[in-house]
Amino acid sequence: MPRSEDAVTRTRLEPSSVECLCPSTLAVEVMASRRAWRPFADEIIALLDALSQDLMADPEARAHPDVIAFAFFCRRRNIDRLKAAWGHQVSDRLGRGVTFHIAPANVPLNFAYSLVCGLLAGNVCIVRAPSKPFAQTAVVCRVLGRVLASDAFAPLGGDLAIVRYQRDDDATAMFSALCDVRLIWGGDETIREIRKIPIPPRAFDLTFADRHSLCVIRAAAYLEAADPARTAQDFYNDTYLYDQNACSSPRLIVWVGTPETIHAAKQRFWSAVHACVQQRYTLQPIVAVDKLTALCRCAIERPDARQVAMPDRLIDRIRIDSLDLDLDRYRCAGGSFLEYDVVVADGPAPSITEQFAGVAGAITRRCQTLSYIGFQPEELRGWVLANRLTGIDRIVPVGRTAEFGLIWDGYDLISCLSRVCDIR
Amino acid sequence: MDLEAYFAIAPYSLGRESKRARLAETLCALTRHHYQACPEYRRILDAMQLDPTSARSHEDLPFLPVRLFKEYDLLSVDRADVVKTMTSSGTSGQRVSRIFLDRTTAAQQTKALSRIVASYLGSKRLPMLILDTAAVVKDRATFSARGAGILGFSMFSTDRVYALDENMGLDRAGIEAFLDKHTGEDLLIFGFTSIVWQHFSKELARTGFRPDLSRGTILHGGGWKRLLDQAVSAAAFKETLRELCGIARAHDYYGMVEQTGAITVECERGVLHTSVFSDVIIRRARDFGVADVGEPGIIQVLSVLPGSYPGHSLLTEDEGVLLGEDDCPCGRFGKYFKVSGRIRNAEIRGCSDTYQAGTQ
């Protein structure tokens, strides 16, 4: 047993507490003795492509746009593109061994993306799926189980397991004891709880803590753009689609321009977003109360806070005149936005560092995604790097904040989940 | 605030139009008062760009979410004038509301409560059986909602006995002695709904002890959320009490520490009634507009009593339905309604688990 000396604890499981969603039986001992693959191994790419094709052909999967988006992510053409991007950087690498992924409870498919990262980096993966019974989770597990059961992929049978269990420290301890990397999604509280459970000495945790995000909009560029409804839909996908509760969902909106263009842009933008939200979003009563509470909290603590009038409570807007490091205190899910104007006079524009001097003051290490309209991503990255900001590790156009990538939260997941075999 | 006009009349005697006029006047005046006296309240109204003098009816007034009292100390008087600080009940680790009362507000709350209760029990004081333990009222410095409720209702009694010992077990001997002493008298029975169910009804059923409480009227409130979790209906709750100890008259009440005194009590028809001291407005989540009769929404509660803290208009986290106004067959005037549950157990998407964990 190559791993027994590394193991911190080995807890015997009640068979009933852990449900194996895919494959049908859990063979922990077998998994622990498997050897890691090289990153982007042909066998793994073939498996993901087969999964992709089966998902796209599955009537139930087709009913869920997020499952189809996942299927697209897994298709050979996309993975080949990713492989080309990593190219020779990973040719001297192997997966670290066993990765244990703890997915958040309330996102249906994060577990699947996390699994794909672990597999592509070359690891044997144990994935804890959300404890809530999402239809999307069930579909992906069913189809993946079918693919794995085919003769072509039988050799990969011991390389992955998707499990589900209610809060159970014994089960978490058992999987933790045999992993080389533990990926903890689900935010600060979950991380704190899981970290109490030990992992072997050489193993480490990759944690995805609570983050928050912002959006910058150049007013003039927005007004020139053709299709406000399309932009509104993109913004909706970044925010309301996940109750504005994903770490990549912007909460602070920074407007840049002359007072007149900012005014006109806000009018057009918010009325288009409102039309979109009105059609698609159900505001739950508790969310409406939470948003009112957030507004009151902000008002009490910030004399500059002003509520911006809207026809209803679907979109809550709070205008503030200064930015500081505590903005996260007023965050609230379900469509509550802080707005800040960067007023730029007509004429030659000052440098982005000068324009964004106030914005830089609000960037903490908890800032994750900067989404934008009307900027060049290079100039925004230049601003982050030149000013050595402690946060922002993703810069994406509006509409793509939720798009998954192999670089997440500032981690290159392929590199983090593999090891280098160095020669001198 | 001079509330003499409210105390001069019977608590369920105002018809819609005169009640609206009175509430508009008093509640608008309270809004102006708190705007002047409570800096946090003023900042909230300023941020909402609401002019405290502009409201014409009490539906137009702003409302604070009750949770704000858990996060901030909100006072409209000097701390030196605070004679009593009330806290909401909460399990350990949960934040509790802190409500600051000066002499005037405390006295008005007591007086309003006595008017409301007397209209159900009569003005004669009765021997009182408290279905709880004396332990909850031991610390007089801070009043939990449970303790405050017991002490508040104790004022309507002559003799008091606690039916539960300090371990929340039935004090059978104490109950029997109390009943012997008051044979043939009407009784006031009081308790928190979930405690009555858990520690009294279930214990009677288990032990076979059957005290004769057929001359008693029970007032119970609070903790009904926990009963909903156990799927105990109001009808089953009452029927069980009737079977086990003969209690024929049971009145649920809906109230909260943030608006002590202005409780709404269930009438003989099983619906909650607002008194002259209070009102409820059911609001739609989408725009906080006023819901129609029969349409479920978020319960806003209004009370003319809070002068020392800005709690005269609050948005609760409870869902309810307005059933009508002035025309309940029981004969009481004022709005009548039902509370249907909590709005807090909603599901939120997103990548952080904490939102849920923090609210369970």
Q: Which residue of B has its CA nearest to A210?
A: B352
Residue A224 buriedness (CB in 10 A; 0-12 / 13-18 / 19+): exposed
Backbone angles phi, psi at B250, to 5 degrees: -130, 130
Pick from A188, A286, A313: CB nearest B288: A313
Distance (Å) from the alpha carbon of B89 to chain A's nearest alpha carbon: 20
Residues A312 and A343 in one domain: yes
Kindly state whether residue A190 falls inside one of the protein's structural domains: yes
Is A284 found in the same domain as A191? no
CB A175 within 8 A of CB A127: no
* Residues of A whose CB is below 8 A from B286: 283, 288, 312-314
Q: Which long-range contacts (CB under 8 A, 24 or more apart) does A85-93 make?
A: A86/A39, A86/A40, A86/A406, A86/A414, A89/A415, A90/A38, A90/A39, A90/A40, A90/A414, A90/A415, A90/A418, A91/A38, A92/A420, A92/A421, A92/A422, A92/A423, A93/A38, A93/A39, A93/A122, A93/A415, A93/A418, A93/A419, A93/A420, A93/A421
Instruction: Inspect the interface and report whether the beta carbons of B352 and A288 lie closer than 8 Å.
Output: no
| pLDDT for the residue A347 | 77
- Residue B95's CB is within 10 A of a number of other CB atoms, namely 12
Residue A92 lies in a domain: yes
At B90 the pLDDT is 59
Answer whether A249 sits within 8 Å of B350, measured CB to CB.
yes
A119/chain B closest Cα distance in angstroms: 21
pLDDT of residue A7: 41
**Separation of alpha carbons B152 and B43, rounded Å:** 33
- Tell me which residue of A215, A228, A225, A181 sits closest to A200, measured CA to CA: A181
Inter-chain contact B48–A187, Cβ cutoff 8 Å?
no
Alpha helix stretches (DSSP H) within A75-208: 76-86, 110-120, 135-149, 169-177, 187-195
In chain B, count H helices and then E strands. Answer: 12, 15
Contacts of B73 in chain A (CB under 8 A): none
What's the mean per-residue pLDDT of chain A? Answer: 92
Chain A interface includes B8 (CB < 8 A): no
- Model pLDDT, residue A322: 92
DSSP-based three-state secondary structure for B163: strand
In whole angstroms, what is the distance from residue A183 CA to residue A207 CA? 6
Q: What is the pLDDT of residue B354?
A: 45
Is A12's pLDDT higher than 60? Answer: no
Kindly state the helix (H) or strand (E) to which residue B16 belongs, with its residue range.
Answer: helix B16-37
The dihedrals phi and psi of A355, each to the nearest 5 degrees, come to: -60, -40
Is B47 in contact with A318 (Cβ distance < 8 A)? Answer: yes
Interchain pair A243, B352: CB under 8 A: no
Together in a domain, A181 and A242: no
> For residue A11, is it within any domain?
no
Spell out which residues of chain B touch residue A317, defining contact as CB-CB under 8 Å: none
A179-196 confidence digits (pLDDT tens)? 999 999 988 999 999 999
Q: Flag whether residue A189 sits within 8 Å of chain B, measured between CB atoms.
A: yes
Contact call for B357 and A190, based on CB within 8 A: yes
Q: At what angle do helices A135-149 and A42-57 cross, to 10 degrees?
A: 120
Tell me whether residues A187 and B347 touch, CB distance under 8 A. Answer: no
- Do both A64 and A158 map to the same domain? yes
A residues 190-229 lying closer than 8 A (beta carbon) to B: 190, 208, 210
Determine, yes or no, domain membership for A10.
Answer: no
Q: Do B351 and A311 touch (CB under 8 A)?
A: no
Residue B75 tokens read as 């006072």
Determine which helix (DSSP H) or strand (DSSP E) holds A70, and give its type and residue range.
helix A65-74
Dihedral in degrees, nearest 10, Cα atoms A353, A358, A363, A368: -70
B168 φ/ψ sector (left φ>0, alpha ψ -120 to 50, else beta) = left
A236: in domain: yes
Three-state DSSP string of B164-227: ECCCCCECHHHHHHHHHHCCCCCEEEEEEHHHHHHHHHHHHHHHCCCCCCCCEEEEEECCHHHH
Domain contains A353: yes
Contact B351 A314 (CB under 8 A): no
Q: Encoding tokens for residue A125?
A: 């993966």
Q: Does A249 touch chain B (CB under 8 A)?
A: yes
Per-window interface: A 158-187 vs B, CB < 8 A: 185-187
Looking at the complex, report in whole angstroms how far the Cα of residue A41 sits from the nearest Cα belonging to chain B. 29
- Between helix A65-74 and helix A135-149 the angle, nearest 10°, is 40
Beta-strand relationship, B297-303 and B278-283: antiparallel
User: Residue A396 in 3-state DSSP?
Assistant: strand
- Residue A57: CB atoms within 10 A of its CB come to 11
Q: Which of B43, B48, B353 sits opposite A105 (nearest CB)?
A: B353
Q: Measure the CA–CA gap between B118 and A129, rounded to whole angstroms.
A: 58
The pLDDT value given to residue B88: 79
User: What residues of chain B lie within 8 A of the CB of A310, using their CB?
Assistant: none
- Listing DSSP states for A302-361 in one string gives -TT-EEEP-SSSSSEEEE-S---TTGGGG--TTTEEEEEEEE--SSSPPPHHHHTHHHHT
Residues A47 and A153 in one domain: yes
**Domain presence at residue A402:** no
**Residue among A212, A209, A102 at smallest CA distance from A162:** A102
Contacts of A415 (CB under 8 A, 6+ apart): A89, A90, A93
Tens of each residue's pLDDT in chain B, 360 residues = 789 999 999 999 999 999 999 999 999 999 999 999 999 999 999 999 999 998 889 999 999 999 999 999 999 999 999 999 988 765 556 788 899 999 999 999 999 999 999 999 888 899 999 999 988 887 655 556 778 788 888 888 999 999 999 889 999 999 999 999 999 999 999 999 989 999 999 999 999 999 999 999 999 987 666 676 677 888 889 999 999 999 989 999 999 889 988 999 999 999 999 999 999 999 999 999 999 999 999 999 999 999 999 999 999 999 999 999 999 999 999 999 999 888 876 566 666 664 333 332
Task: State whether residue A366 is helix, strand or coil.
Answer: coil
B49: phi > 0 → left, psi -120 to 50 → alpha, else beta; which? left
Which two structure tokens, joined as six digits, stand for B122?
A: 């009569």
Domain ranges of chain B: 19-357
Residue B353 to residue A208, Cβ atoms within 8 A:
no
Measured between beta carbons, which residues in chain A are less than 8 angstroms from residue B353? 104-106, 186-187, 189-190
Put simply, whether A3 touches B (Cβ < 8 Å) is: no
A193 and A332 co-located in one domain: no
Q: Say how far apart CA B188 and CA B132 lie, in whole Å.
A: 14
| Domains in chain A, number | 2
- The predicted structure's pLDDT at residue A89: 83
Minimal Cα–Cα distance from A365 to chain B, Å? 17
Residue of B353, B354, B356, B360 best to disrupt the A interface, most CBs of A under 10 A? B353
Question: Is it the case that residue A8 has pLDDT exceeding 60?
Answer: no
Residue B2 forms contact with A (CB below 8 Å):
no
Same domain (yes/no): A134, A123: yes
pLDDT of amino acid B74: 98
- Min Cα separation A210/chain B (Å): 6
* Residue whose C-alpha is closest to residue B43's, from A325, A315, A304: A304
Q: Which of A128-132, A336-340, A373-377, B145-149 has the lowest mean pLDDT?
A: B145-149
Query: Which value, in Å, is the radius of gyration of the alpha carbons in chain A?
Result: 23
The whole-angstrom separation of Cα A368 and Cα A371 is 10
Q: Which of A107, A244, A300 sits opposite B44 (nearest CB)?
A: A300
Check if A296 contacts B (Cβ < 8 Å): yes
Answer yes or no: is pLDDT of A151 > 70: yes
Q: Which domain holds residue A272?
A: 212-397
Using a CB–CB cutoff of 8 Å, tell me whether A295 touches chain B: yes
Mutation to test the A interface, candidates B318, B342, B351, most A Cβ within 10 Å: B351
pLDDT digits (tens, 9 = 90+) for A53-78: 999 999 999 999 899 999 999 999 99
Q: How many CB atoms lie within 10 A of CB B107?
A: 14
Long-range contacts of B31-40 (CB under 8 A, 24+ apart): B31/B55, B31/B61, B31/B62, B31/B312, B31/B313, B33/B1, B33/B76, B33/B307, B34/B76, B34/B310, B34/B312, B37/B76, B37/B77, B38/B74, B38/B75, B38/B76, B38/B309, B38/B310, B40/A300, B40/B72, B40/B74, B40/B310
CATH code (residue A331): 3.40.309.10
Chain B positions in Cβ-Cβ contact with residue A311 (cut-off 8 Å): 287
Q: A42-57 vs A65-74: helix axis angle to the nearest 10?
A: 150
Chain A contact set for B319 (CB, 8 A): 285
Inspect the interface and report whether the beta carbons of A293 and B65 lie closer than 8 Å.
Answer: yes
Q: Across the A/B interface, how many CB contacts are shorter than 8 Å?
A: 137
DSSP helix/strand/coil, A212? strand
Q: Do the Cβ atoms of A333 and B317 come within 8 Å?
A: no
B301 to chain A, any CB pair closer than 8 A? The answer is no
Q: Is B354 on the interface with A (CB under 8 A)?
A: yes
- CA A310 – CA A248 distance, rounded (Å): 25
Predicted TM-score (pTM) of the model is 0.90
Average pLDDT estimate for A211-226 = 94
- Asked if the C-beta of A257 comes within 8 angstroms of chain B's C-beta atoms, the answer is no
* pLDDT given at position B278: 97
Contact A188 B297 (CB under 8 A): no
> What integer pLDDT is reported at residue B353 of this predicted model?
62
The answer to the question of residue A14 being in a domain is no
- How close is the nearest chain A Cα to the Cα of B112, in Å? 29
Using CA atoms, how far apart are residues A137 and A141, in angstroms rounded to an integer?
Answer: 6
Residue identified by tokens 């760009």 is B49
DSSP string, A13-49: PPTTT-EEEESSS--HHHHHTPPPPPTT-HHHHHHHH
For residue A23, cis peptide bond before it (omega within 30 degrees of 0): yes
| pLDDT at site A393 | 95
**Does B317 lie at the interface with A, CB-CB under 8 angstroms?**
yes
Q: Are residues A173 and A292 in the same domain?
A: no
Q: What's the confidence (pLDDT) of residue A225?
A: 87
Measured in whole angstroms, the distance separating CA B188 from the mean position of its chain's CA atoms is 18
| Residues with Cβ within 8 Å of residue B293, at least 6 apart in sequence | B322, B323, B324, B325
Residues of B in contact with A130 (CB under 8 A): none
Task: Please give the ipTM for the structure prediction.
Answer: 0.92
Does residue A397 come out as left (phi exceeding 0), alpha (psi in the -120 to 50 range) or beta? beta
Same domain, A150 and A217: no
Across the interface, of B67, B71, B352, the residue whose CB is closest to A186 is: B352
| Fold of the domain built from segment(s) B19-357 | Rossmann fold (3.40.50)
Residues A243, B350: C-beta atoms closer than 8 Å: yes
Q: Are A420 and A93 in contact (CB under 8 A)?
A: yes
Q: How far is B61 from chain A (nearest CA, A)?
A: 14
The span from the CA of A239 to the CA of A333, in Å, is 9
Q: Are residues A160 and A294 in the same domain?
A: no
